[in-house]
Amino acid sequence: MTAPRPMLLVSCTGDWTRNTPTVELPAIQSIYRLYNKPNAISSAHFDAEHNYDRRTRQTVYKFLARQLRNDSAWDYREDEITDLHVEELLSNSNDAPSQPNQSLNFVFAEWQNMTSVQIANANAGQIRRSLRAALSTDLRPLVGASEFGDYRILNRLGKGDRIPARWLEGRGTPAILIHPEGTEAAAGTPEFHKLSLANRPILMIDVFQTGVAAANRERGGRWYLSYNQTDDANRIQDIVTAIRWVRSHTSGEPEVIGLAKAALWVVFAAAVSRDQVSVIADLTKFVDSDETFHEHCFVPGLRRAGSLASASRLVRNMRRSL
């Protein structure tokens, strides 16, 4: 699409651009030849790791000078940068007084305060949108199910996920019971016993990496979460998927029950879901802190999007116990 405008392909030996001179460049040149402009595209390849180092930048400066200034002789050289202390790279907001030698802890505390103020001043719609973005939740999944007696395998059509589940028919308000150790653990709880005595419809699921859904998961190194969701984000998605399935198979508003740390997953699932649900979740054991989120509901950026208290406010009907 860029052809026949000038283009410079910058690449290096130490990352995924290592093949640019032999693969991408010839392919793109073939398009430029169609415009009789084979010389409008060029490349610069460096023996280096993934980077945008001085050699690369100065090559780009020359390219831009040639194209934008019509000056092939222009040869800009960067000034030397002396050693910097980390404190010199820290800055206050514009309206805060300058404080030399700030610590990283001070800056982080400022970020936390800024977040708290933003969340406190945000309306429900803004917080819900922020939470949905942080969780990357599929809010209106088309849900299929394979049936094996009382057991089901739920899946979002076209997504490839599979959620082991147990569905018990009944009367009255349907309940979705979530235990952090899965379906079998949920079936041994007092909450399940009460629901069974009331003959209510019950769905129990093995959310991601719990119960029979637990399996070895390759984390893929330090950049894994740049491209993949955390276990807890996937668990919240599974609960949203289960809500969608129950709403499409029953009448009435489901009651979603989160036991132990699944209480956190249930609250966030209900907060972002487009389906109205009631929630039973005891949050009294959880402090709204970084430590709680890191240990029990780890999703990078989730606290930045909304606190546990703000997520709870989005749940229309919530109580602590059956």
DSSP 171: S
Reported as a pLDDT band with limits 50, 70 and 90, residue 90 is: low
Contacts of 61 (CB under 8 A, 6+ apart): 74, 76
Does 154 share its domain with 283?
Answer: yes
Helix (H, G, I), strand (E, B) or coil at 67: helix
Does 160 share its domain with 248?
Answer: yes
User: Under a CB-based contact definition with an 8 Å cutoff, are residues 40 and 6 in contact?
Assistant: yes
Does 308 share its domain with 166?
Answer: yes
Does 174 share its domain with 281?
Answer: yes
Contacts of 122 (CB under 8 A, 6+ apart): 130, 306, 310
Domain boundary among 68, 87, 111: 68
Does 166 share its domain with 311?
Answer: yes
Does 160 share its domain with 290?
Answer: yes
Does 174 share its domain with 311?
Answer: yes
Task: Identify whether 116 is part of a domain.
Answer: no
Reported as a pLDDT band with limits 50, 70 and 90, residue 271 is: very high
pLDDT given for residue 254 in this prediction: 96
Instruction: Provide the pairing of β-strand 255-258 with 278-281.
Output: parallel
Does 234 share its domain with 156?
Answer: yes
pLDDT tens-digit map of 193-207: 999 999 999 999 999
Domain boundary among 22, 52, 68: 68
Q: Which residue has the tokens 């909450």?
A: 191
Does 143 share its domain with 271?
Answer: yes
Task: Identify whether 91 is part of a domain.
Answer: no
DSSP result, 7-59 = EEEEEEEESTTTTIIIIIHHHHHHHHHHTT-GGGEEEEEEEEES---HHHHHH
Alpha-carbon distances, residue 207 vs 83, 179, 215, 289 (angstroms): 50, 9, 12, 24
For residue 214, give both structure tokens: 């637990």
Looking at the 3D structure of the chain, how many domains does it have? 2
User: Under a CB-based contact definition with an 8 Å cutoff, are residues 181 and 189 in contact?
Assistant: no
- Closest listed residue to residue 174, CA positions, set 204, 148, 146: 204
Reported as a pLDDT band with limits 50, 70 and 90, residue 92 is: low
Task: Identify whether 296 is part of a domain.
Answer: yes
Does 268 share its domain with 153?
Answer: yes
- Closest listed residue to residue 178, CA positions, set 253, 260, 287: 260
Domain boundary among 27, 49, 68: 68
Task: Identify whether 38 is part of a domain.
Answer: yes
Does 180 share its domain with 53?
Answer: no
User: Under a CB-based contact definition with an 8 Å cutoff, are residues 178 and 266 in contact?
Assistant: yes
Range of the domain at 37: 7-68
pLDDT given for residue 98 in this prediction: 58
Task: Identify whether 284 is part of a domain.
Answer: yes
Task: Identify whether 203 is part of a domain.
Answer: yes
Residue 133 in this model has a pLDDT that exceeds 70: yes
Look at 19-33, 72-86, 130-144, 146-160 and tell me which has the smallest mean pLDDT: 72-86
pLDDT given for residue 95 in this prediction: 53
Task: Identify whether 125 is part of a domain.
Answer: no
- Closest listed residue to residue 9, CA positions, set 50, 36, 54, 40: 40
Does 49 share its domain with 140?
Answer: no
Q: Which alpha helices (DSSP H) does 97-188 contain, by range? A: 104-121, 124-135, 183-187
pLDDT tens-digit map of 226-235: 889 999 999 9
User: Residue 183 maps to which CATH number?
Assistant: 3.40.50.1820
Task: Identify whether 238 is part of a domain.
Answer: yes
User: Under a CB-based contact definition with an 8 Å cutoff, are residues 296 and 261 in contact?
Assistant: yes
